[in-house]
């Protein structure tokens, strides 16, 4: 069946983003959703890049329900920021990583790749690379790794642990 690809565009320049979108041309089995943020100008440029590539991408501006978009996806393509990485893993989805910034994103990328839940890709061949990962079975293995690594109840567990502290322990913390 089709593979749902969620392309998150936070922090990308339009050049790499357009290149990634165009790389899905001729791969109708890959269904692309792009979350591009609140900028109407950016959304228009993303829609233009998809039209130029001849792909029927679903383009979303600011997304209020990222867990729903992540649940629909088979793979998330984007930068490995802290929130994106943790939300993606919490939903048990693998990451195809591009556009990593120096610092903590480099660490996140390395950790995701070493733990087999992520792979670094070039925006210009994102589509063919994801198709290759699917055909080889690696995408399914990456998803299983992401499911093992994800902590969907992390916030609840932290709050519960805090509530178990005595008032004296809470004050000392």
Strand-pair partners of 59: 34
Whether 85 has a pLDDT exceeding 70, the answer reads yes
Collect all residues with Cβ–Cβ distance below 8 Å to 98 and sequence separation of at least 6: 16, 20, 77, 78, 79, 120, 121, 122, 123, 126
What the chain holds in terms of domains, given with CATH numbers, is: 3-172 (3.40.50.2000)
Instruction: Centre a 10 Å sphere on the Cβ of residue 161 and count the other Cβ atoms it contains.
Output: 9
User: For residue 34, which phi and psi values (nearest 5 degrees)?
Assistant: -115, 125
pLDDT score recorded for residue 159: 86
Chain centroid offset of residue 125 CA:
16
Q: What is the pTM of this model?
A: 0.90
Distance, CA of 80 to CA of 85 (rounded, Å): 5
Q: What is the pLDDT of residues 130-143, one digit of tens each?
A: 999 999 999 999 99
> What is the dihedral angle through the alpha carbons of 131, 137, 138, 139, rounded to the nearest 10 degrees?
60
Check residue 11 and give its pLDDT: 66
Would you state the structure tokens that stand for residue 5, as one six-digit string?
């690809």
């Amino acid at each position: 069946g089709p593979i749902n690809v969620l392309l998150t565009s936070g922090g990308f320049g339009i050049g790499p983003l357009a290149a990634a979108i165009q790389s899905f041309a001729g791969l109708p089995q890959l269904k692309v959703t792009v979350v591009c943020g609140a900028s109407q100008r950016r959304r228009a440029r993303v829609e233009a890049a998809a039209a130029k590539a001849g792909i029927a991408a679903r383009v979303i501006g600011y997304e209020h329900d990222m867990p729903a978009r992540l649940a629909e996806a088979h793979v998330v393509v984007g930068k490995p920021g802290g929130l994106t990485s943790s939300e993606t893993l919490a939903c048990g989805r693998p990451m195809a990583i591009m556009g990593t910034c120096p610092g903590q994103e480099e660490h996140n990328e390395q950790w995701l790749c070493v733990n087999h839940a992520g792979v670094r890709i070039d925006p210009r061949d994102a589509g063919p690379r994801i198709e290759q990962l699917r055909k080889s079975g690696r995408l399914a293995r990456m998803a299983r790794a992401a499911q093992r690594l994800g902590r969907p109840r992390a916030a609840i567990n932290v709050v519960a642990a805090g509530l178990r502290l005595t008032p004296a322990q809470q004050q000392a913390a």
